[in-house]
């Protein structure tokens, strides 16, 4: 039996310190086992032409990044992962004649085009909890894929390779001969297009000649703006789409709410807002804009004219297309990634050491139903219960992880498959 002598509190302090150290060791051993079991059980993804790619790794407890690493065979890669069990694994978007030599000696052969969308870069993203971040960045990823990469740039779905990043976002890799040897400058022009750099509403809206006055055989002709044609692509298509959506939304709102929105959001004066509403909805001219694309439907004298409405459309374009579709996409996209022709990106099927979810390949036609907290949980984990102590309480009371409802508390018992995520994301420890 142990009896404390002289310093009464010392044995207790020693016991608590020992228990804390033991918890750290226990947690680290558990995460190491998860890495080992994951890499022994998965069919490891190897990128296209992997022998021409540089690989890089970070290890648990290690300092710095281990690079450059090159592989000659699939067996070499699989054996490496099973023995080294990296905490983070990356590969180059570029192809090299010899990827294992230092960067200054590398002979560059081309590169994939990559978009890295991260919820951490969303405007206001730091105020969102984790599931909210995932939901918002998923929406932006879908917009980038369909509104820009497929609709505007004409890439085929089979040229786009989509992956959950393992943490807060998505990676889109484009493998195509069209972009293989594209320079950094050319890749940044793609970013500029998506963000609407230099975009002018006058360049988007077409015009038509209309007769505004006549004297005998003489006609006075003026240029009248129109909505872009229904079959047009690019920003013109987005302009038409957002204008139609705005008019349809206003049509089902009450008059006072529409007028208030015009005044508050679009800085339209009282009389002009009143006149716009009367012309658009009390006289029914909004439907002609939608059906025929005609914008010159307003009175040229009095409360309102076409220029008043054009100012609203300009605001819609900037807010809904450039800011929401464009700037927020590239706000969530790490812009240097897209322009960088020698970038490292996370290896699909590898564990992300900041979440212990794995980088997950996703078919584009299955993206809508993809749930990271269900589909990216390592499949090597069981339902065995683990007791945890959380040091940093999350911004929410509960989450769905692996199909199970998890209630957060300072001390909690969770299934094994949820434990690595909670440990790495919220600095929890095993008890």
Burial string for 233-258 (b: 16+ CB within 10 Å, else e) reads eebbbbbbbbbbebbeebeeeeeeeb
Q: CA nearest 337: which of 178, 159, 144, 155?
A: 144
Residue the block writes with tokens 């269900």: 374
Question: Is 116 assigned a catalytic role?
Answer: yes
- One of 112, 147, 296, 334 is an active-site residue; which one? 334
Residue 180 exposed, middle or buried by CB count within 10 Å (0-12, 13-18, 19+): middle
* Separation of alpha carbons 323 and 375, rounded Å: 31
* 98 classed as catalytic: no
Q: Catalytic pick from 118, 147, 296, 340?
A: 118
Element at 204 (helix H, strand E): helix 201-204
Give kind and range of the element (H or E) at residue 235: helix 234-251
Task: Identify the active-site residue in 116, 147, 296, 340.
Answer: 116
Task: Please choose, from the candidates 317, 316, 330, 322, the residue with its C-alpha nearest in 3D space to the C-alpha of residue 197.
Answer: 322
In which region does residue 88 sit, left (phi positive, over 0), alpha (psi from -120 to 50) or beta (all else)? beta
Q: Which residues contact 269 (CB under 8 A, 6 or more apart)?
A: 263
Number of residues assigned to the chain: 431
Rounded CA gap, 274 and 309, in Å?
A: 12
Q: Is 147 a catalytic residue?
A: no
Give me the active site residues, please: 116, 118, 334
């Amino acid at each position: 039996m142990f009896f404390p002598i002289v310093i009464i509190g010392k044995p207790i302090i020693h016991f608590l310190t020992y228990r804390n150290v033991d918890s750290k060791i226990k947690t680290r051993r558990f995460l190491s086992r998860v890495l080992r079991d994951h890499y022994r059980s998965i069919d490891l993804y190897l990128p296209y032409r992997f022998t021409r790619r540089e690989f890089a790794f970070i290890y648990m407890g290690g300092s710095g990044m281990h690079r450059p690493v090159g592989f000659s065979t699939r067996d070499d890669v699989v054996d490496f992962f099973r023995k080294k069990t990296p905490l983070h694994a990356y590969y180059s978007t570029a192809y090299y004649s010899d990827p294992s030599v230092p960067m200054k000696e590398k002979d560059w052969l081309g590169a994939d085009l990559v978009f890295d969308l991260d919820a951490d870069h969303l405007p206001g993203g730091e105020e969102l909890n984790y599931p909210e971040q995932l939901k918002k960045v998923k929406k932006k990823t879908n917009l980038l894929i369909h509104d820009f990469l497929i609709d505007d740039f004409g890439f085929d779905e089979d040229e786009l390779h989509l992956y959950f990043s393992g943490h807060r976002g998505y990676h889109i890799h484009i493998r195509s001969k069209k972009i293989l040897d594209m320079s950094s400058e050319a890749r940044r022009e793609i970013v500029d297009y998506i963000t609407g750099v230099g975009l002018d509403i006058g360049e988007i809206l077409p015009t038509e000649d209309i007769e505004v006055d006549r004297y005998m055989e003489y006609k006075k002709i003026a240029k009248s703006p129109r909505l872009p044609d229904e079959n047009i692509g690019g920003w013109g298509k987005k302009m038409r789409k957002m204008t139609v959506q705005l008019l349809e939304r206003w049509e089902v709102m009450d008059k006072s709410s529409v007028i208030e929105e015009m005044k508050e959001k679009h800085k339209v004066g009282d009389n002009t807002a009143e006149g716009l509403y009367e012309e658009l909805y009390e006289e029914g001219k909004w439907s002609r804009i939608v059906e025929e694309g005609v914008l010159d439907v307003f009175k040229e004298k009095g409360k309102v004219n076409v220029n008043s409405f054009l100012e609203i459309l300009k605001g819609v374009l900037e807010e809904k297309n450039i800011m929401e579709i464009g700037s927020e996409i590239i706000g969530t996209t790490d812009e240097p990634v897209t322009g960088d022709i020698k970038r490292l990106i996370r290896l699909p099927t590898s564990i992300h050491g900041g979440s212990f979810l794995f980088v997950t390949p996703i078919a584009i036609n299955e993206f809508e139903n993809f749930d990271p907290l269900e589909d990216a949980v390592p499949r090597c984990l069981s339902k065995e219960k683990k007791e945890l102590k959380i040091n940093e309480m999350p911004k929410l009371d509960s989450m769905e992880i692996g199909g199970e409802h998890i209630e957060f508390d300072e001390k909690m018992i969770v299934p094994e498959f949820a434990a690595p995520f909670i440990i790495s994301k919220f600095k929890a420890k095993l008890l």
